[in-house]
Amino acid sequence: MRNDLYSLMNEFNNMFYDGGYKGFPIDVVETETGYMVVAEIPGVKKEDIRIEFEDGILTLSAEMPKRDHNTKYLIHERNNQKLRRTINFGDIKEDEIKASYENGLLAVNITVKKEEKTKKTIEIQ
């Protein structure tokens, strides 16, 4: 997938221009039936994660816990922005997308639609 020019441009947009959103690390693994996306989103409640699929694009987004603005931080490295990643998968079975979230890891299983290969005998006239 990384060799696909669209995916590379999508990754670039996620890093710099995705509406002020920050990204998070993901792995995309090919499976027998499609793909599995594993996203690392520690410190986020399951209710604050949103998964959407539209026009072949899977969007994962999360809302980090709000920071207390009255606290005087000496070091502040943890992310407190909205997070989002988008991945282009093309034609998949939308009704078979399954997700789970445990210990800061979001796993999304995606099944690819397989084209039905038909064999047709052509009659010669």
pLDDT value of residue 119: 76
pTM here is 0.69
| Separation between Cα atoms, residue 74 and residue 84, nearest integer Å | 27
Domains of the chain: 5-111 (2.60.40.790)
| Separation between Cα atoms, residue 88 and residue 55, nearest integer Å | 9
| Separation between Cα atoms, residue 74 and residue 22, nearest integer Å | 22
pLDDT, tens digit, for every residue of 14-63?
Answer: 555 445 567 789 999 999 999 999 999 988 899 999 999 998 899 999 98
pLDDT value of residue 12: 59
pLDDT value of residue 43: 85
